[in-house]
């Protein structure tokens, strides 16, 4: 299979500063979400992307506003990266009526159709075929939309993953799969239960997908491979699989301290933290320390404001409970 | 007016809607060139082409996932699950994804899609290709469940299901595929959530679904010979449920007999019995009786399968025994 890789125009400094800002926003948002979880304000569960921000940010930078994101329960970052404001996302975590889905979805199901965030899915692998369906719809209607579908390394061993890859390939769908390989499922190392070394990339090539490995802690590198894969999909050249190596700084969810991971491994990956790395790169490219400090201050202001606004949100009313099972807005199952 | 089989009615219903609405697409295993394993989709590929009528790999999760993704972005997919038993391998997409996503997203998404499937027994296929699964679907908030019993209803309810903005599970009784009746020419569009009174009587009300409907009608004829005059109601739609018609017809005779092909536990008749007990208990003149398939996997041998699925004879003896006791 020969594919022509469309040229990706490199980002200029302003664009890179914007990409830095996105990464910081994701980092500070997640830290705030964690703090508020410890304060018992974030209820239920939540799965943070701390350490993995470069992937959500880099891919989103390569997408058009009309493209679609399909995320997992670890989806705060992917939602925010598409331009969804922080307040409704945080309020959703708090179960408030000003939440993104008025409290009806929660942390694991963030959705903003308006921003192309077509859902966050909490059943491992389920959204890969759904992303194929959206891509099929774009292909059928002749729009240039592309579906981008994020998932973890552990999700590569479930049936839906394999059905979706074959399906995307045979119908040549405009879909880009992005595996965030953070080495661990919940508490088990993925390589211990997987027959191949690179769980997504090695399988993808068997299905005839363009298969790309990338350093997931380098936002520029992620942006470049994503832009190329998205351009290929948009041009009708079919699906791709990007496997981005990364690491989650914290536990799997909630208050999991992640103690099953060797200290040396954690230390090694903390040294590869995508955000300080990007900070250094921007300085090398001529950005000033003042510029970067100002961006940081701006993000802190945004997170603080979102925190206030989210906390000020009301409790969802009973009117919401029985709403929107059906398209007519109701939930009636009988006359 | 033309004679049409149940299986021909499926293709006619789908074709009627595909002609009318460009956004209706159809996908499934062997549905195109082969015309469906039950020959229910013959001619659709020829008329609408391979872009709108697409054969898929044997990937039930991919089929339904694709239908869902297409529906949330503006298409109106019809997906086929060849045998209803196979819902078990893609039930996550149906129950957790399609059925819940509108509610979870606070109404941001709609899913105008139809999943049609060959349902139930009578073909001696054994336990994994014969189960009647309407009760699986009925218990899931967010799914509409439609079960036609005549070729005309297949067309009209198919059209209504395709036009409906919500996900519809459309169950076709395999035992009825070869039945043939007169069907009017021209467009047929029915209404979801409407039960149909097929026969009016004064002594007892038989409420039936899918392949049990013709059996209930036949039983009512025989019971009439014994002096038991039965109303027969075809439920047609489990969700939404036409409780108004059902309660009216049950009140009028004071006796309810359900005729259900699903295995007994949590069958739709149990839900109907509960509604009747709560709302028209004092109109009843005797116990509610459920005539169902026993709570067993279906056996393959014709002799055994015939013992399991409610038969005309079982309906007649059950009703007459209960009415005369
Ligand atoms: C079908 C299914 N099985 C199991 C789970 C429980 N579960 C939630 S997250 C998770 C680990 C997933 O790991 P991975 O795909 O690597 O993603 P990560 O959490 O690392 O982002 C598991 C087992 C689930 N949600 N769905």
Residue B190 lies in a domain: no
- In tens, the pLDDT along A69-107 reads 999 999 999 999 999 999 999 999 999 999 999 999 999
- In tens, the pLDDT along A28-79 reads 999 999 999 999 999 899 999 999 999 999 999 999 999 999 999 999 999 9
- In tens, the pLDDT along B148-207 reads 999 999 999 999 999 999 999 999 999 999 999 999 999 999 999 999 999 999 999 999
Which of B162, B183, B204 is a domain's end point?
Answer: B183
Cα A35 to ligand 1 centroid, rounded to whole Å: 23
DSSP string, A128-194: HHHHHHHHHHHHHHT----EEEEEEGGGGGSHHHHHHHHHHHHTT-SEEEEEEE-SBSSSSBGGGG-
Q: Rounded to a whole number, what is the distance in Å from the CA of B62 to chain A's nearest CA?
A: 5
- In tens, the pLDDT along B225-269 reads 999 999 999 999 999 999 999 999 999 999 999 999 999 999 999
Domain count, chain B: 2
Residue A138 in contact with partner chain B when CB distance is under 8 A:
yes
The interface residues of chain B toward chain A in range 227-286, judged by CB-CB distance below 8 A, are: 239-244, 275
Residue B243 lies in a domain: yes
Closest partner CB to B57 (pick from A167, A324, A327) = A167
Instruction: Say yes or no: B269 and B162 in one domain.
Output: no
Any atom of ligand 1 within 6 Å of the Cβ of A216:
no
Q: Rounded to a whole number, what is the distance in Å from the CA of A325 to chain B's nearest CA?
A: 5
Residue A140 in contact with partner chain B when CB distance is under 8 A:
yes
Closest partner CB to B68 (pick from A133, A141, A335) = A133
DSSP string, B140-190: STT-EEE---SHHHHHHHHHHHHHSSS-EEEEEEGGGTT-EEEE-SS----
Whether residue A168 contacts residue A232, with contact meaning beta carbons closer than 8 Å, is answered with: no
Q: Which domain holds residue B85?
A: 2-183
For residues A129-150, average pLDDT: 98
Between CA B28 and CA B82 the distance in angstroms is 8
Cα A196 to ligand 1 centroid, rounded to whole Å: 19
Q: In chain A, what residues touch B61 (CB-CB under 8 Å)?
A: 126, 129, 159-160, 163-164
Instruction: Say yes or no: B172 and B219 in one domain.
Output: no
List C-alpha distances in Å: A218 to A12, A19, A54, A283, B281.
16, 11, 6, 15, 69
What ipTM, to 2 d.p.? 0.97
What's the pLDDT at A301? 98
Q: In chain A, what residues touch B109 (CB-CB under 8 Å)?
A: 111, 113, 118-119
Burial of B90 (0-12, 13-18, 19+ CB in 10 A): buried
N residues, chain B: 325
Q: Does 3.40.50.970 match the CATH number of domain A123-272?
A: yes
Residue A48: both structure tokens together: 């943070």
Residue B65 in contact with partner chain A when CB distance is under 8 A:
yes
Residue B305 lies in a domain: yes
Q: Given CA atoms A253, A255, A261, A265 in this order, what sign does their dihedral have?
A: positive
The DSSP bridge partners found for residue A74 are none
Instruction: Say yes or no: B179 and B220 in one domain.
Output: no
DSSP string, A52-103: -HHHHHHHHHTS-TTSEEEEESS-HHHHHHTT--HHHHHHHHHT-TTSTTTT
Whether residue B235 contacts residue B246, with contact meaning beta carbons closer than 8 Å, is answered with: yes
- In tens, the pLDDT along A97-121 reads 999 999 999 999 999 999 999 999 9
Whether residue B203 contacts residue B253, with contact meaning beta carbons closer than 8 Å, is answered with: yes
Evaluate if pTM is beyond 0.90: yes
Is the pLDDT confidence value at A216 over 70? yes
| Residues of B marked as catalytic | 129
Residue B85 lies in a domain: yes
Residue B254 backbone class (left: φ over 0; alpha: ψ -120 to 50; beta: rest): left
Any atom of ligand 1 within 6 Å of the Cβ of A193:
no
Between CA B268 and CA B266 the distance in angstroms is 6
CATH number at B140 reads 3.40.50.970
Q: In chain A, what residues touch B146 (CB-CB under 8 Å)?
A: none
CATH number at B310 reads 3.40.50.920
List C-alpha distances in Å: A322 to A328, B29, B104.
12, 37, 12
User: Between β-strands B144-146 and B76-83, what pairing exists: parallel, antiparallel or unpaired?
Assistant: unpaired
Whether residue B258 contacts residue B287, with contact meaning beta carbons closer than 8 Å, is answered with: no
Between CA B309 and CA B157 the distance in angstroms is 25
Instruction: Say yes or no: B167 and B311 in one domain.
Output: no
């Amino acid at each position: 299979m020969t594919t022509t890789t469309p040229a990706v125009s490199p980002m200029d400094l302003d664009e890179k500063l914007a990409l830095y800002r996105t990464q910081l926003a994701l980092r500070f948002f997640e830290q705030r979400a964690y703090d508020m979880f410890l304060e018992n304000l974030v209820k239920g569960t939540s799965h943070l992307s701390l350490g993995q921000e470069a992937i959500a940010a880099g891919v989103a930078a390569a997408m058009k506003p009309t493209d679609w994101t399909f995320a997992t329960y670890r989806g705060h970052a992917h939602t925010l990266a598409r331009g969804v404001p922080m307040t409704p996302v945080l309020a959703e975590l708090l179960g408030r009526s000003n939440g993104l889905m008025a409290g009806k979805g929660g942390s694991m199901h963030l959705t903003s159709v308006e921003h192309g965030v077509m859902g966050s899915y909490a059943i491992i692998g389920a959204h890969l075929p759904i992303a194929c369906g959206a891509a099929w719809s774009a292909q059928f209607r002749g729009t240039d939309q592309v579906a981008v579908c994020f998932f973890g390394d552990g999700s590569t061993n479930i049936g839906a993953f394999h059905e979706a890859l074959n399906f995307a390939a045979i119908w040549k769908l405009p879909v880009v799969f992005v595996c965030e390989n953070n080495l661990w499922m919940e508490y088990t190392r993925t390589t211990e239960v997987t027959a191949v070394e690179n769980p997504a990339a090695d399988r993808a090539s068997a299905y005839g997908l363009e298969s790309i490995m990338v350093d997931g802690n380098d936002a520029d590198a992620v942006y470049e491979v994503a832009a190329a894969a998205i351009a290929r999909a948009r041009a009708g050249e079919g699906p791709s699989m990007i496997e981005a190596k990364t690491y989650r700084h914290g536990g799997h969810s909630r208050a999991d301290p992640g103690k099953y991971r060797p200290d040396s491994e954690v230390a090694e990956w903390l040294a590869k933290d995508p955000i300080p790395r990007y900070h250094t790169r921007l300085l090398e490219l001529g950005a000033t320390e003042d510029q970067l400090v100002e961006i940081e201050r701006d993000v802190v202001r945004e997170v603080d404001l979102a925190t206030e606004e989210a906390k000020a949100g009301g409790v969802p009313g009973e009117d919401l409970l029985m709403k929107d099972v059906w398209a007519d807005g109701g939930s009636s199952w009988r006359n | 007016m033309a004679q049409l089989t149940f299986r021909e009615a499926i293709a006619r219903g789908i074709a009627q809607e595909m002609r009318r609405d460009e956004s209706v697409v159809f996908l499934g295993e062997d549905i195109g060139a082969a015309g469906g394993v039950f020959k229910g989709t013959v001619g659709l590929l020829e008329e609408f082409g391979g872009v709108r009528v697409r054969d898929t790999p044997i990937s039930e999760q991919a089929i339904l996932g694709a239908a869902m993704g297409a529906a949330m972005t503006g298409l109106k997919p019809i997906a086929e699950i060849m045998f209803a038993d196979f819902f078990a391998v893609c039930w996550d997409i149906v129950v957790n994804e399609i059925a819940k996503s509108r509610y979870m997203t606070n109404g941001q998404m709609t899913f105008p899609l139809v999943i049609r499937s060959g349902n139930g027994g009578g073909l001696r296929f054994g336990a994994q290709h014969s189960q009647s699964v309407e009760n699986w679907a009925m218990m899931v908030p967010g799914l509409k469940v439609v079960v036609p019993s005549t070729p005309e209803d297949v067309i009209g309810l198919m059209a209504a299901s395709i036009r409906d903005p919500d996900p519809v599970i459309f169950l076709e009784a395999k035992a009825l595929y070869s039945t043939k009746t007169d069907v009017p020419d021209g467009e047929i569009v029915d209404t979801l959530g409407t039960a149909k009174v097929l026969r009016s009587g004064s002594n007892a009300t038989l409420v039936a679904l899918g392949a049990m409907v013709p059996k209930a009608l036949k039983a009512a004829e025989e019971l009439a010979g014994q002096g038991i005059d039965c109303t027969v109601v075809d439920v047609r739609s489990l969700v939404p449920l036409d409780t108004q018609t059902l309660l009216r017809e049950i009140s009028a005779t004071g006796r309810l007999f359900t005729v259900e092909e699903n295995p007994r536990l949590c069958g739709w008749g149990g839900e109907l019995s509960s509604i009747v007990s709560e709302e028209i208990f004092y109109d009843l003149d005797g116990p509610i009786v459920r005539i169902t398939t026993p709570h067993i996997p279906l056996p393959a041998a014709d002799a055994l399968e015939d013992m399991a699925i409610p038969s005309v004879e079982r309906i007649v003896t059950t009703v007459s025994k209960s009415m005369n006791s």
